[in-house]
Structure 1
Amino acid sequence: MTAKRRGAQLGMLAFAVLIVMGAYASVGLGINNKVPSGMLGYGLGLGGLMLAAYLVLAKFAPWADPLLLPLVTLVNGLGLVMIYRIEQTGMDGASATNQLMWTALGVVMFSATLIVLRDHRALQRLTYTAGFVGLGLLVLPLMPFIGSEHYGSRIWINIGGFSIQPGEFAKLALVVFFAGYLVAKRDVLALAGRRLLFIDLPRARDLGPVLITWAVSIAVLVGEKDLGTSLLLFGTFIAMLYLATQRTSWVLIGLLLFVGGAILAGQIFSHVEARFDGWLHADSQELYDRQLGGTYQLMQGLFSIGSGGILGTGLGRGHPDLTPFSFSDFIFDAVGEELGLTGLMALLLLYALMVERGLRTAIAARDPFSKLLAGGLSFILAWQVFIIVGGVTRLIPLTGLVTPFMSAGGSALLANWMILALLIRMSDAARRPPPQAIQDEGMTQVMQR
């Protein structure tokens, strides 16, 4: 990497940290008309962490996409700011200090992934191992003694006093499995069977993998009461299947299978039915008055977004404490109240840029496995944002997913930093010029000196 490239990336990173510090100061000014006393400490903490991440990236992935790390820094930093703002209301569970510690651990996982995984193509040899690990992580919360249920979903395990969501890491292992499996089987899966209207349907014998993945996702929905992970798991597989085969029929079959399975589960299982009732009848007074297990949280979040208007109330001037768990599941609504529709559109644009850079990596990748893996990881980020934003705005039923890099909590944040590391590793491999080009560039720099 040339000095010019290094300087540009470091400048974007510093700019992202400065924006976060400006938002942090605005919170203090909005609450009590003075800059927060801990601003310097948070600023140095965040800046130091991102500088460490940049140094690891510069050494071990020097040709990687220069925008990915600054984009994540900005979104992660804004999440810290919103959690700090909500913490000032006295809401239990909101702690910017804890979130900064989780961010530090996320940077450690990011760095370790880049240092240990020098060639991401080695993951292809672990295709079926990754599949077994992913399924094992999904099943862990159902195990007695270690599995526990929180807020209606059994997606947590307790180890040594800590609560972890293994499903967040299962999605990484399963994407590696999907990519390796589809590379090996894509020619078979791309074969067409009968034609229905204008669509070439796949052969019936090739439906096995789709049906198995559908059954696993429905089992997660029913057994763990987790609509979010179920939707994310099956949606990711169908998207990667489309990338591998370019057949629209797989997408249509996937949609029909999931919608049909969800409707059937809603008719049989009461907790699934309750999710759909809350979505369809969110304004029901009976459901609203129920609060926990009802629609109080959803409606309060919608009221928050509505009160923000176009420009918002301003950081520190809203009432995020009126929405339960506004620091985790409903942080998107808290942003909407204080930064308005303008702030929400800017946030969604940041996510869109992350996904676009990930998909650009998939296009530039030089082997099929890398293309599918980068595309799958990019889709996971996009799908998470769609599911959580669709849930809190009542576009789809509310799920248990959180806003990537923003919401309070450790498991999702660590997993997303690992996703970033994998995308950067693949971006470095895709953008790295041939050895002769690197040698010529070095000679040019020497001659210029």
Structure 2
Amino acid sequence: MPSSAPVAAYPTSTRPVSIPGRKPRTQGLRNMELAFLVFAYVIVLAALLQVQLGVMGEFDFQLITVFGFLVALTVAMHLVLRFRAPQADPFLLPIATAINGLGISMIYRLDLVNPDITDGSVPNATAQMVFTGLGIGVGIAVLIALRNHRILQRYTYIFGAVSLVLLVLPLVPGLGVSEANARVWISVGPFNFQPGEIAKITLAIFFAGYLVTARESLSVVSRKFLGLRLPRMRDLGPILIVWAFCMGVLVFQRDLGTSLLYFGLFLVMIFVATGRLSWVLIGLALFVAGGTVAALNMEYVRKRIEGWINPFDPDFYEASGGSYQLVQGLFGMSNGGLVGTGLGQGRPDITPLAESDFIISALGEELGLAGLFAILAMYFILVSRALRIGHLGGDDFGRLLATGLGFVIGLQVFIVVGGVTRVIPLTGLTTPFLAAGGSSLVANWIIIALLLRLSDTIPNQATTRLEVTT
């Protein structure tokens, strides 16, 4: 018989009930990450062993110690994520590990045929492993110490001041490395460091915090011109200040790539914050104008552009600091063809700075166009995951910060690959995770840690469970 008890129109209580046999989503994310990490380890180990076989004709299994060091570091970060950020994106750590490991493999390959490493100096591959350990260690510290990314917003202007100090440091007499082509390095004892690499992170935090508070005023439209909604004249101050700041980097530090990177970062973040295309067009016009003036009046910029336009001209090819490096890199990549010569079988060592500025051309020669596309695909996935984090973020500051950090990696890859392939003039930036450079490695692993922390706070990404009413 039907019950005479009244039936509630709406459920009076709910409780989560786990589906039998189904693992929680957080555990599934970390298991997925571990599976991808194992796949990354296979790629890196195969590359290291193939380098030895190609160069020496035999295997030296002492290299397993170096490989084990990379495995231990990344597994440590994976375990920290399990307990400190269980909902973090599962793709970021494996992709960064694979790219970093491939970079170490190519640097090790170049060390094996480098006659300069005979005087007891530290091989580049060893230094790269040390800085990889330092970078991952700092990344783990960021994940443990930073439980809530919103704390960073409290110190917006402090990060802005820190950015300014970091960029001024190379100009300090006795601290900056004056013999370098670009004044972007500082020397502290036996160590050289590039503070601009850390500055790109602090600037992203500063821009995100500032644009969250100033977004409404920057979005105000004063008039329409040719279909564009132009901002008010009094609101042009921020972009003019950043433009002047980047031009100062170009003039005083002779660093075209860093100047372009910083200004591009600000343009993208102000566009995301306001949705106004007019800001981007104004910024591009300012940068083109500044770059034109620099090309006409600065020999450093003029040589870069002339060598880009006429790389095979003997006047530029044979000149000191001319296009010799670019041409050698182009010949190397053409020698690789579609599938490459094989790791250890090419001659990337005859390209100057193949372990740093031109590591893309070295990999293109020995892995071919197919291998280069695979590396670029990993970068594409890395950047797309960062932009996804920015799109799904739960707060404005986090969305802007994730977008800025992802764009920094994407723009830097474009600038480097575009310069090596002669799409744009060479700028001297390092390829993230791939090229030799301790400052860059540490900074990029900090970016990965921040993106992992930001992804852990995305709403509705908690444990998968069934809500039933009673």
CA distance in 2, matches of 1:237, 1:122: 21
- Whether 2:64 is the aligned partner of 1:35: answer no
CA distance in 2, matches of 1:2, 1:208: 45
Give CA-to-partner distance per residue, 1:301-342, whole Å, 9 cap, x none. 111111111111011001011101000000000000000110
CA distance in 2, matches of 1:64, 1:310: 36
How much has 1:37 moved relative to structure 2?
Answer: 3.4
How much has 1:269 moved relative to structure 2?
Answer: 1.8
Tell me the residue number matched to 2:43: 19
Tell me the residue number matched to 1:356: 384
How much has 1:150 moved relative to structure 2?
Answer: 4.6
Q: Which of residues 313, 335, 338 in structure 2 aligns to 1:310?
A: 338
Partners of 1:149 and 1:155 within 8 A in 2: no
Q: Which of residues 68, 73, 81 in structure 1 aligns to 2:105?
A: 81
Q: Which of residues 267, 283, 288 in structure 2 aligns to 1:254?
A: 283
Q: Which of residues 72, 96, 101 in structure 2 aligns to 1:48?
A: 72
CA distance in 2, matches of 1:91, 1:421: 37
How much has 1:284 moved relative to structure 2?
Answer: 1.6
Tell me the residue number matched to 2:171: 142
CA distance in 2, matches of 1:249, 1:423: 29
Give CA-to-partner distance per residue, 1:127-166, whole Å, 9 cap, x none. 1110010011011101111011354100011112211000
CA distance in 1, matches of 2:373, 2:179: 31
CA distance in 2, matches of 1:189, 1:330: 40
Distance of aligned partners of 1:262 and 1:91 in 2 relative to their CA distance in 1, 3 Å threshold: farther
Bigger mean CA deviation after superposition, 8-17 or 349-358: 8-17
Tell me the residue number matched to 2:401: 373
How much has 1:293 moved relative to structure 2?
Answer: 1.2
Q: Which of residues 199, 218, 224 in structure 2 aligns to 1:189?
A: 218
Tell me the residue number matched to 1:224: 253
CA distance in 2, matches of 1:226, 1:422: 26
CA distance in 2, matches of 1:429, 1:156: 36
SS of alignment partner, residue 48 of structure 1: helix
How much has 1:355 moved relative to structure 2?
Answer: 0.4
- Please, what TM-score do these two structures have when normalized by structure 1? 0.95
Aligned sequence identity (%): 49
SS of alignment partner, residue 436 of structure 2: coil
Tell me the residue number matched to 2:13: none
Q: Which of residues 192, 198, 204 in structure 2 aligns to 1:175?
A: 204
Tell me the residue number matched to 2:297: 268
Q: Which of residues 374, 391, 394 in structure 2 aligns to 1:346?
A: 374
CA distance in 1, matches of 2:322, 2:151: 47
Partners of 2:108 and 2:125 within 8 A in 1: yes
**RMSD of equivalent CA atoms:** 1.7
Partners of 2:394 and 2:459 within 8 A in 1: no
Partners of 2:316 and 2:323 within 8 A in 1: yes
Tell me the residue number matched to 1:205: 234
Give CA-to-partner distance per residue, 1:401-423, whole Å, 9 cap, x none. 11000111100100000000000
**Amino acid of the structure 2 residue aligned with 1:303:** F
CA distance in 2, matches of 1:192, 1:413: 41
Q: Which runs of 5+ in 2 are unaligned?
A: 1-24, 118-122
Distance of aligned partners of 1:276 and 1:395 in 2 relative to their CA distance in 1, 3 Å threshold: same
Give CA-to-partner distance per residue, 1:329-362, whole Å, 9 cap, x none. 0000000000011011111100000001001101
**Amino acid of the structure 1 residue aligned with 2:452:** I
Q: Which of residues 408, 415, 425 in structure 1 aligns to 2:436?
A: 408
Give CA-to-partner distance per residue, 1:368-415, whole Å, 9 cap, x none. 101100000000000100010111111111112110001111001000
Tell me the residue number matched to 1:299: 327
Q: How many residues align?
A: 439
SS of alignment partner, residue 124 of structure 1: helix
Distance of aligned partners of 1:220 and 1:392 in 2 relative to their CA distance in 1, 3 Å threshold: same
Distance of aligned partners of 1:288 and 1:414 in 2 relative to their CA distance in 1, 3 Å threshold: same
Distance of aligned partners of 1:326 and 1:199 in 2 relative to their CA distance in 1, 3 Å threshold: same
CA distance in 2, matches of 1:433, 1:138: 38
Quick check: which one's helix share is greater?
Answer: 1
Partners of 1:83 and 1:408 within 8 A in 2: yes
How much has 1:286 moved relative to structure 2?
Answer: 1.8
Where do 1:85-104 residues align within 5 Å?
85-90=109-114, 92=116, 95-104=124-133
Flag the structure with more relative contact order, 1 or 2, with Cα contacts below 8 A and sequence separation at least 6. Answer: 2
Give CA-to-partner distance per residue, 1:175-218, whole Å, 9 cap, x none. 11100110001111111122121211111111100000000000
Q: Which of residues 110, 119, 142 in structure 2 aligns to 1:113?
A: 142
Bigger mean CA deviation after superposition, 273-282 or 54-63: 273-282
SS of alignment partner, residue 366 of structure 1: coil
SS of alignment partner, residue 241 of structure 1: helix
**Amino acid of the structure 2 residue aligned with 1:248:** L
How much has 1:433 moved relative to structure 2?
Answer: 4.5
Give CA-to-partner distance per residue, 1:207-265, whole Å, 9 cap, x none. 10000000000010010000011000000000001000111111111111111101101
SS of alignment partner, residue 149 of structure 1: coil
CA distance in 1, matches of 2:330, 2:115: 19
Tell me the residue number matched to 1:66: 90
- Whether 2:456 is the aligned partner of 1:428: answer yes
Partners of 1:391 and 1:397 within 8 A in 2: yes
CA distance in 2, matches of 1:358, 1:219: 30
SS of alignment partner, residue 239 of structure 2: helix
SS of alignment partner, residue 195 of structure 1: strand
- Please, what TM-score do these two structures have when normalized by structure 2? 0.90
SS of alignment partner, residue 244 of structure 1: helix
Partners of 1:140 and 1:147 within 8 A in 2: yes
Q: Which runs of 5+ in 1 are unaligned?
A: 445-449
Tell me the residue number matched to 1:447: none
SS of alignment partner, residue 177 of structure 2: strand
SS of alignment partner, residue 396 of structure 1: coil
Bigger mean CA deviation after superposition, 113-122 or 190-199: 190-199
CA distance in 2, matches of 1:411, 1:342: 29
Distance of aligned partners of 1:294 and 1:151 in 2 relative to their CA distance in 1, 3 Å threshold: farther
Distance of aligned partners of 1:2 and 1:273 in 2 relative to their CA distance in 1, 3 Å threshold: closer
How much has 1:5 moved relative to structure 2?
Answer: 3.3
**Amino acid of the structure 2 residue aligned with 1:227:** L
